Structure 1
């Protein structure tokens, strides 16, 4: 009874031995399959993805480096002979265009800046000239006694009697004949007549201003006798014109510049005494001193210089400072 069960269990080891080779074979087959290449479909998909990535990289390189060397970048489109004739010609880009436009804008800005500075300087000079012309002279109002003494001293510069020193000097009108020397009795030469006629008379619609301007042009050209005749006509015909102070002063200069200091002194004194606040009153007083210097009358020149320095201190140190100091150096005043 004990032997039978043993015999019944004896075939079991043989069945287990037959199953071991089968399991081992399955494991080996799995390992071999794992080491085998991927299926053909998967391999084809990977190659397509790689080719797509490479194409995108080449396209990106062409955008970043336009016109690149063909040795490194394969062209997308070949133009045959035309492309071969210009293989290395760089193409413009948006950045290049922007830089060119910026250079042009900077050049235009520099030109505009230069023009603006020139215009600003021109306007500044014009403002200075207008301010100098429109600025009324600072007139010191003398005391009554001092004013009477000054009028007496200034009147003494003429040939009038000392007892009439407080009267205004009445200057006789200048005739055209008194403006010429004896050598001119035969009349001006044809050349001089042609030169005078070449000076045009303006026509601005203001007859008084036109008369004065024409006299100024004659004086500026050096035709002093003709200028005196023209300015005398203006002074007599337009006594209330705004330019009357300019006319009397310029008439005195037309005498002084022609070597007639005594006649010039009369007109300078008349213009100063007519209105001491007028635009050319300080000029006439200073030219009066210069006329006295030309006549060799140091005392009267010093009187005029002292009056100018006291009445017009701002102008004596400003607009007419050079002329004032030049006249003072010509005389020795006590």
Structure 2
């Protein structure tokens, strides 16, 4: 049993014999409770300014005093204080729940806004061929460029629809998102390119950078699958050697890491492309084998 309830059980028995000093203590406690109620009302006004009574009570109110029948003694002060403290605790719990619910709704709105922004950037870059041109004089859009008194030029005709992008342009747009570190949009653009042009010369590059995009987003399992598939489907592709290198790095990023499998990927890289490796790629391979402690 909590100490407060023990106090409530025992003090009413001693209340008739309380000296003046004890009664003064009760009055002090009641004053503190009133102060706590006032602070709670201030919190309500701060968190929910102008709030509707449909969702919460605008002010904290002490429980109504019970109607006592004639001849029945009134409740003692400590019991009244206990009920008021219980009411304050219930109100505080309600406020906490409402604050948490509002915070969750704000997070949902932020996530939806970020998704909309990413999708809009992707469509603008890969489908519409870039942002629409700015006005010739954005600071003074209503000034006649021919000068005062000159005839106002006719309104320009609506721009013709943008021409369809070539496969090379679509790949460059997707790769531009990678270099800009807009990984969610790059993931969508690269995946769309691979699906649309699986046999294109740039397909090896596209799937390699798709794997790197997953790796940059802390998705090593998806990165490993994508890079392994790129090597298996396009062993003669431009990015097949780099795909094996980053396959090993992705395996080392697993939780827990998989150094034995990583070393197998590095061995396959040396076996298949040892004589064709550039100096830069060979240096990266030496470092990667050392990190995996390959024999």
Normalised TM-score (structure 1): 0.41
Higher alpha-carbon Rg: 1
TM-score, normalised to structure 2, is: 0.46
Higher relative contact order (CA 8 A, sep 6+): 1
